[in-house]
Amino acid sequence: MKRFIALAALALIPLRFAQPVDISAEIKASSFAMSEDGNLKPSAIGYGGFIEVSDRLSANLFGKLSYDADPVYGNVLSARAMYRTSYMEIAAGPSFGVLNSNGSSDGVPILFQPGLGIGFSVTAPGFVVARADTEFALPAAVQTEGQAYLQKSELSAGFFLPNVLCTLKVSQRTSGIQDGADAKIRSTTDYGFYTTAYKKGSPFRIGLDFIYRVIDYYVVADSPDNRKIANLVLGGELTFSPKAEYSLFLAGDGSLYSFSLGDPVDGLDKFMFNLRAGINLSLPTLDAP
């Protein structure tokens, strides 16, 4: 967490000299934590953060830089170039896993794991919006013990009702840790129905989410260490936007009921949650009239 705050501060220093930029920053906490040995630890809360800086590069071209310190799956630094029209956006750019390796003390630590991010979205304003996005680590030239491979993906389709945006979304985060010739894989997959209610002229937006979450731990086929845990999750979000230049938000979700899809697993009677709080800013140039 201290490393994230330091990087965020360094990222904000040059903004006083920059062109108009949009900034998003948030802090995170999660108890949906499965250890690298496949043990569920709801009492071990993980902390992280996120910061993103985006700017218009030309009439239809935008760029953004982001650093995501996920409290469960690790750290990713990424950049995207986005070509945007009234109805479509196409994005691509490099990414780097940062300090995610947990190799042995006598091994070679992998500081940065290169990757790639690509995505697109299609929008018919006031009717439907669809989005597909993925970010994944590229295979390394040499594999070492404890090397981490992170991946996240999202596929969503939304439609508008009066004063409500409804979205069906499937999202997944995966971490593979090299363990000899095999890899220990941890994954969280969400199948969700997300709603956001808004009213013209009101500074508030309220979200309500219904999610079926599957947490996986996989070593090899038929391993007694394999785990598959299902969760019925309820989530929500409150956004306050008193001005167009900034907004504050608080979001979270928690497990209503958790159960194993395989062998019995201890700790499923504990409450598990995710929590996020943050701010979105739009900064004009200093010399603007």
* pLDDT tens string 22-37: 999 999 999 987 777 7
Residue 58: strand, helix, or coil: coil
pLDDT at 214: 96
Residue 109 CB partners (closer than 8 Å, separation 6+): 101, 103
Q: What's the rounded Cα separation, in Å, for the pair 78 and 126?
A: 31
Q: What's the rounded Cα separation, in Å, for the pair 150 and 110?
A: 13
Backbone angles phi, psi at 15, to 5 degrees: -65, -20
Listed residue (213, 159, 173) closest to 191, CA to CA: 213
Residue 22 lies in a domain: yes
pLDDT at 3: 52
pLDDT at 269: 86
Q: Which helix (H) or strand (E) holds 95?
A: strand 88-98
Q: Higher confidence at residue 195 or residue 140?
A: 195
| pLDDT digits 0-9 by tens, 226-239 | 899 999 999 999 99
Q: What's the rounded Cα separation, in Å, for the pair 207 and 167?
A: 11
Q: Compute the average pLDDT of residues 77-94.
A: 96
| pLDDT digits 0-9 by tens, 39-50 | 777 778 999 999
Per the structure, the complete domain to which residue 207 belongs is given by: 2-283
Per-residue confidence band for 104, with pLDDT thresholds at 50, 70 and 90:
low
Residue 25 lies in a domain: yes
pLDDT at 205 over 50: yes
Residue 289 lies in a domain: no
Give yes or no for a contact between 130 and 156, defined as CB atoms under 8 angstroms apart: yes
Q: What's the rounded Cα separation, in Å, for the pair 172 and 152?
A: 6
Residue 288 lies in a domain: no
pLDDT at 286: 53
Q: Give me the chain's average pLDDT, please.
A: 88
Give the Cβ contact number of residue 211 at 10 Å: 19
DSSP string, 61-81: EEEEEEEEEETTTEEEEEEEE
Residue 70 lies in a domain: yes
pLDDT at 252: 97
pLDDT at 20 over 80: no
DSSP state of 9: H
Residue 24 CB partners (closer than 8 Å, separation 6+): 50, 51, 52, 278, 279, 280, 281
pLDDT at 68 over 60: yes
Give yes or no for a contact between 216 and 254, defined as CB atoms under 8 angstroms apart: no
Domain CATH code at residue 46: 2.40.160.60
Residue 112 lies in a domain: yes
Per-residue confidence band for 13, with pLDDT thresholds at 50, 70 and 90:
very low
Structure tokens at 252: 């979270």
Among the residues of the chain, which ranges form H helices? 2-12
pLDDT at 106: 59
| pLDDT digits 0-9 by tens, 227-277 | 999 999 999 999 999 998 899 999 999 999 999 998 888 878 888 999 999
Q: What's the rounded Cα separation, in Å, for the pair 14 and 264?
A: 52
Q: What's the rounded Cα separation, in Å, for the pair 286 and 139?
A: 44
Q: Is 141 left (phi over 0), alpha (psi -120 to 50) or beta?
A: alpha
pLDDT at 111 over 70: yes
pLDDT at 15: 45
pLDDT at 147: 82
Q: What's the rounded Cα separation, in Å, for the pair 157 and 133?
A: 12
Per-residue confidence band for 105, with pLDDT thresholds at 50, 70 and 90:
low
Per-residue confidence band for 66, with pLDDT thresholds at 50, 70 and 90:
very high
Structure tokens at 8: 């965020």
The fraction of the chain above a pLDDT of 70, given in percent, is 89
User: What is the count of structural domains for the chain?
Assistant: 1
Residue 269 lies in a domain: yes
To the question of pTM greater than 0.85 for the whole model, the response is yes
Backbone angles phi, psi at 83, to 5 degrees: -100, 120
